[in-house]
Structure 1
Amino acid sequence: MMKPVLRIDGRGACAVSGFPMLDLPKAAWNGGMLVTTLVLAGPYFTWGAFTLFITVTYTSLLIGHSVGMHRLMIHRTFDCPKFLERALIYVGVLVGVSGPSGIIAVHDVRDWAQREPRCHDFFAHNKPLPMDLLWQLAFRFRFERPPTVDIEPHFANDPFYRFLDRTWRWHQLPLAALFYAFGGWPWVVWGVCARVIVSAAGHWTITHFCHNPGDGRWSVRNASVQASNLRGMGLLTYGECWHNNHHAFPESARIGLEPGQTDPAWRLIRLFECSGLVRNVGHPRARHEREDLIDAPPYDFVAH
């Protein structure tokens, strides 16, 4: 069984006290990608560029964000050789949201806040979607009493990941050069600018709906935010939409736990496991280890 990774020390911290404040680098990055897309996507539209956009957006989010950054780097739901770990996380960096440490910090602080008895609207995602998107794409939360984030040495001391933390935005440039060589400016506009802003906005849109009332059979004891499953969205979201399951079993590499809950990222992990590249795959913990869950059904999941 994979052990949960604890990076947050919330002693003395408060998940309510504070306020969202403008984050100029984040706002400039996402705002620049948005404005460029709105101005140039139409004039530079070609079917080849649009096909590139769809293909690279989906595969980078599937391979890099869902498998690499979320299920491997953040939750450590499986182990793999260093070369594969770095490759998966690098693809996650190419998504264009943040570097490895930034992704870990944003995720873990949010997860900590949501599991507190009360948390600010910034973390609860209960404002209307336009306001929530504005906050997530252009603001950061300034705590009055912040928690401490302690990223484990495996990532914090790795020179490759530290390099990616310093340079993550610049890695769009070689990608842009490659796209320009094959498809000119249409491929750059759609393959970089449109892809980055749609990836970021799409991520936070799914996050918004997954943390508002909806379908789900699990409740996490004393948590101020209970996650929802989004029916019919498994293929589009790589399996991340089964978020009620994920809040209950963050140690599981598989998020689509029930029949009919499509989980493409899990299928990729299983492919790696069958090829011998992945081991120690995490599954939902047994009944007697679910004291933190309310009204948990009396059965164990069967991995497949």
Structure 2
Amino acid sequence: MPLVDSERVKAGPGCDPMAGRIAFEPLKAAWWAAHGLGGLAALLFFPSWGGFAVFILLTGLTICAGHSVGMHRLLIHRAFSTPLWLERLLVWLGTLVGMAGPMGMIRAHDMRDWHQRQASCPPHPSHDAGFFRDAYWQLMCSYRLKHPPRLEIEPEVARDPVYRFIERTWMAQQLPLAVLLFLIGGWSWLLWGICLRVWVSLTMHWMVGHYCHRSGHQGWHIAGLPVQGYNLPGWSLVTFGENWHGNHHAFPHSARLGVEKGQLDPGYWFIRTLEALGLATGVKLPASEPPRDGLTPIATP
């Protein structure tokens, strides 16, 4: 049975979530900045409708099918099941977003989730900083604990040869796509389809996380936790449903994030399409598992 969320994090004696420091990560910062410069070059020196179309199509594909559905709802939360070949394809598309490989994404997500479930949560994993400071922390730094918990990723993922290869080469996974784009559309398609796409994806992912942990619509409250999730109405078609983060805090097992009336969730639409094609099974909804301890609805006027 695959592990999900904080089940993977094993905290031993002396593990204090507050005993850590924020450390600058040169490679992480250089990755973000280099794609930003390439994206700026695309806008200034290679403006084209073709490049813009490539940017829109690849961003939608990698964020929706890859990150939101493949990495987040499938690999991390196991909110549904697919054939292994399709799971690997979706996870690979998620890697093309440019954040990390499969194990790296599990580690980043589950450690942040573990921090936010503790009685006290430091400002880095809780996004408890101003706009620019949090951008610097999230896009260029990491939070290093003095005595970190142990992360145990399920063997079917940790030992999977495809996932292990993608994890070792996750930055280089952009290269085959970059070569293809260059051969078809030259520098314009490469810069729009790789550099600008990756920079926008990384930056927007941080911004959604920043605002979804600070304020917004809240349909649910989880008692006893220092960090609550909030929804960002109006951003569904840009984030593919990831803007319903308050709902996700309430029902982390659910494949559907837009659980209330009128909450659009394109990622869930994609999962339902896979289900209709016989390629997704065991799709979980909020009522599929018992509610979280301390979960209470918040009445809206």
* 2:63 paired residue among 44, 57, 61: 61
Partner of 1:268: 270
User: What is the distance in 1 between the residues matched to 2:17 and 2:27?
Assistant: 24
Query: Quick one: which amino acid aligns to residue 176 of structure 1?
Result: A
Query: Quick one: which amino acid aligns to residue 31 of structure 2?
Result: W
User: What is the distance in 1 between the residues matched to 2:10 and 2:259?
Assistant: 30
Partner of 1:22: 24
User: What is the distance in 1 between the residues matched to 2:104 and 2:88?
Assistant: 16
Q: How far off its partner does 1:95 sit?
A: 1.2
* 2:148 paired residue among 142, 146, 157: 146
| Partner SS, residue 96 of structure 1 | coil
Q: Is the 8 A contact 2:221 2:298 kept in 1?
A: no
Partner of 2:80: 78
Q: Is the 8 A contact 2:221 2:228 kept in 1?
A: yes
Partner of 2:205: 203
Q: How far off its partner does 1:147 sit?
A: 1.6
User: What is the distance in 2 between the residues matched to 1:53 and 1:4?
Assistant: 32
Query: Quick one: which amino acid aligns to residue 151 of structure 2?
Result: V
User: What is the distance in 2 between the residues matched to 1:168 and 1:3?
Assistant: 23
User: What is the distance in 1 between the residues matched to 2:89 and 2:288?
Assistant: 32
Query: Quick one: which amino acid aligns to residue 294 of structure 1?
Result: L
Q: Is the 8 A contact 1:218 1:293 kept in 2?
A: no
Instruction: Note the 1:24-173 alignment, pairs <5 A.
Output: 24-173=26-175
| Partner SS, residue 76 of structure 1 | coil
Question: Please, which moves more after superposition, 213-222 or 268-277?
Answer: 213-222
Q: Is residue 2:9 matched to residue 1:8?
A: yes
User: What is the distance in 2 between the residues matched to 1:107 and 1:280?
Assistant: 22
| Partner SS, residue 142 of structure 1 | strand
Query: Quick one: which amino acid aligns to residue 76 of structure 1?
Result: R
User: What is the distance in 1 between the residues matched to 2:134 and 2:298?
Assistant: 33
Q: Is the 8 A contact 1:64 1:92 kept in 2?
A: yes
Deviations 1:17-37 (A, max 9, x none): 211101122112112111222
Aligned residues: 296
Q: Is residue 2:254 matched to residue 1:256?
A: no
Please list every run of 5 or more consecutive structure 1 residues that lacks an aligned counterpart in the other structure: 299-304
Deviations 1:195-250 (A, max 9, x none): 11110111110011111122112112321100001111111110011111100101
Partner of 2:280: 278
Q: How far off its partner does 1:134 sit?
A: 1.4
| Partner SS, residue 144 of structure 2 | strand
User: What is the distance in 2 between the residues matched to 1:291 and 1:47?
Assistant: 47
Q: Is the 8 A contact 1:253 1:281 kept in 2?
A: yes
Q: Is the 8 A contact 1:272 1:278 kept in 2?
A: yes
TM-score (norm 2): 0.94
Percent same amino acid at aligned positions? 42
Deviations 1:36-55 (A, max 9, x none): 22345311111111111111
TM-score (norm 1): 0.93
Deviations 1:249-301 (A, max 9, x none): 011000000111000000110111111111111111369x3251332379xxx
| Partner SS, residue 19 of structure 1 | strand
The two structures, once aligned, show a CA RMSD in angstroms of 1.8
Q: Is the 8 A contact 1:40 1:189 kept in 2?
A: yes
User: What is the distance in 2 between the residues matched to 1:182 and 1:291?
Assistant: 50
User: What is the distance in 2 between the residues matched to 1:286 and 1:178?
Assistant: 42
Partner of 1:302: none
Q: How far off its partner does 1:121 sit?
A: 0.7
Q: How far off its partner does 1:94 sit?
A: 1.1
Query: Quick one: which amino acid aligns to residue 36 of structure 2?
Result: L
Q: Is the 8 A contact 1:248 1:293 kept in 2?
A: no
Q: Is the 8 A contact 1:3 1:251 kept in 2?
A: no
User: What is the distance in 1 between the residues matched to 2:104 and 2:33?
Assistant: 19
| Partner SS, residue 89 of structure 1 | helix
Please list every run of 5 or more consecutive structure 2 residues that lacks an aligned counterpart in the other structure: none
Query: Quick one: which amino acid aligns to residue 46 of structure 1?
Result: S
Partner of 2:223: 221
Query: Quick one: which amino acid aligns to residue 8 of structure 1?
Result: V
